[in-house]
Chains A and B, each alone.
Chain A
């Protein structure tokens, strides 16, 4: 087996609520290889988000390790973790989390501005926006964009630092079915171009577009299996045809 891009070893997270202890994660080992498209599933409260936040170095584990390209990042300082996130991780959130009163392009540029070696060249940021289909919307503010478009800006922002892995926590959760399918189509295309993607979702239909499914239950990994990914493009085409028919009927 080749070197994992990102992996968790014996990962636990325990929250203390008064006298009670909540084991959000109770020992999770996952190895993620370059180019995988992983769906993280499981009932509410099973620890999916906790797991993702720790993969992305936003949160620190109670015990266990996170390794990024073989390097243990568990005990790094806040500043060092910021640099790791900046270099290796791209986040896509359910609520988009764009800066208001800031253009799409400037939103996408944000990760680069925190790079010491950024030379002020915006070409790649525009390229990322073009890649997500928003070439015409670079100067728009988030309030002038639809939910799907806002999520595309967020995806472009997650791509701009050419991360080792893109982490998306319920990226379609706030979108309607068709827009959700469009976003999944984009993720699938990015994966086919070689991006490593980890995506949390409640919906089996969404998880079906990934090639590997992790199912969490009570803070443990219940199952971890490779699956045959369905094509988001085909689903989208079928959905649109069906909608058109309903409209005609």
Chain B
């Protein structure tokens, strides 16, 4: 019998017991939907991580001053051991693989413009922050040397701050108040969007280091040139390990510490992000594995129903044999029926997965990516389940003796 005729016969058989067919498919539907959703969420998370690493640059270290910068004084001799702007210079000059080391201080402050009020993260920086973190200016200019040296009352604002305080109007040249200090906006940053933790990366204000040190209330630093962190960019990603070692040695030497509790800490940001991503992927993979167990259970359900179907239709099988169906024809007929059940289940599962991931993206802010190969794989896999679990009942049908099948009550 021709393949398309067999498909038609199988289709008719499935329609006859429509409710039963749907219930039988349910296991496959749920299994396929769950597997695809899990893999889509995993792929989405990976995509976001990649995006974030691209934003950070895979070649960036952050050197943190350990603990609170204001309590950096630990040397018994009164020498101050804390991270300073000079450390940034030293790293840049003495480690040739480092392309830029940007010192930063950060604080939180109220920012007021007219009757608008906002509380972004305030960063004391110099112009090295732009290459170090891949910031681009959307409007305006960077800090001038005079502004940097004399604690100039100027600010470069992030896209979110612009939106919240200025809306559509041009912020350049406007005066905003950071805590009680009036500062002039000289630039606006290009938007970076959210990072993987859902934090808004554009909710910040850059001001010169000294401006933050001297004019933002509540900032008492251990030394006049102390900073809270250095953002260190390495020219070539392959030198990361080497730079980390040299930086560690250099900073220890400069701070004269040898113990385990050095007053600084070197973190590789992309590594942190990746570690988190890997954990998440393992978790998603586990869920997908659990989901595929339901595929297996679905397959057993298919086998059960196919066995029932063979028994119910024994006389039909006998008649088909009497008019010329070979065992192979009967085998194919029931195999195709099982495959059709499973593939339809797979397709329905896929549709449900698409709906669910769409709404997760829309209403819960997830990123989900359904990869084409995952679709092919899961549909193919469900058809395979059909073949695997349909084979035994189909073979049983094909082995019937025509006369026994015809006489079956």
Contact = CB atoms under 8 A, between A and B. Distances in A.
Physical interaction between A and B: yes
A56 B321 CA distance: 11
Nearest to A87: B324
B323 A157 contact: yes
Contacts of A86: 323-324
Nearest to B325: A114
B406 A79 contact: no
Given A113-B1, A113-B2, A85 B406 contact: no
A101 B402 contact: no
B326 A83 contact: yes
B293 to A, nearest CB: 36
B323 A101 contact: no
Contact of A113 (B5, B316, B319, B326): B5
Contacts of B297: none
Given A58-B406, A114-B329, A91 B322 contact: yes
Contacts of B308: none
B327 interface: yes
Contacts of A97: 315, 318-319, 322, 406
Contact of A114 (B315, B318, B324, B402): B324
A241 interface: no
A79 B326 contact: yes
A82 B321 contact: yes
A110 interface: yes
Given A53-B403, A113-B5, A114-B329, A101 B12 contact: yes
Q: How large is the interface on B (under 10, 10 to 19, 20 to 34, 35 or more residues)?
A: 20 to 34
B272 interface: no
Main SS of the interface on chain B? helix
B328 interface: yes
B327 A82 contact: yes
Interface residues of A, number: 24
A58 B403 CA distance: 5
A92 to B, nearest CB: 11
A99 interface: yes
Contacts of B321: 58, 82, 85
A115 B1 CA distance: 7
B326 A78 contact: yes
A83 B326 CA distance: 7
Contacts of B327: 78-79, 82
Contact of B1 (A53, A58, A114): A114
A49 to B, nearest CB: 9
B328 A79 contact: yes
A71 interface: no
A115 B319 contact: no
Nearest to B313: A99
Given A58-B403, A99-B316, A111 B323 contact: yes
A46 B316 CA distance: 27
Given A113-B2, A113-B5, A114-B1, A101 B326 contact: no
A219 B105 CA distance: 108
Interface of A: 53, 56, 58-59, 78-79, 82-83, 85-87, 91, 93, 97, 99, 101-102, 110-111, 113-115, 157, 161
Interface of B: 1-2, 5, 12, 16, 315-316, 318-329, 401-403, 406
25 contacts: A58-B406, A59-B402, A59-B403, A78-B327, A79-B328, A82-B324, A82-B329, A83-B326, A85-B323, A86-B323, A86-B324, A87-B324, A91-B322, A93-B406, A97-B315, A97-B318, A99-B316, A110-B323, A111-B323, A113-B2, A114-B1, A114-B326, A114-B329, A115-B324, A157-B323
| A-B complex: 3 closest residue pairs judged by Cβ atoms | A86-B324, A114-B324, A111-B323
Given A86-B323, A114-B325, 6 more contacts: A56-B322, A58-B402, A59-B401, A82-B325, A85-B323, A101-B12
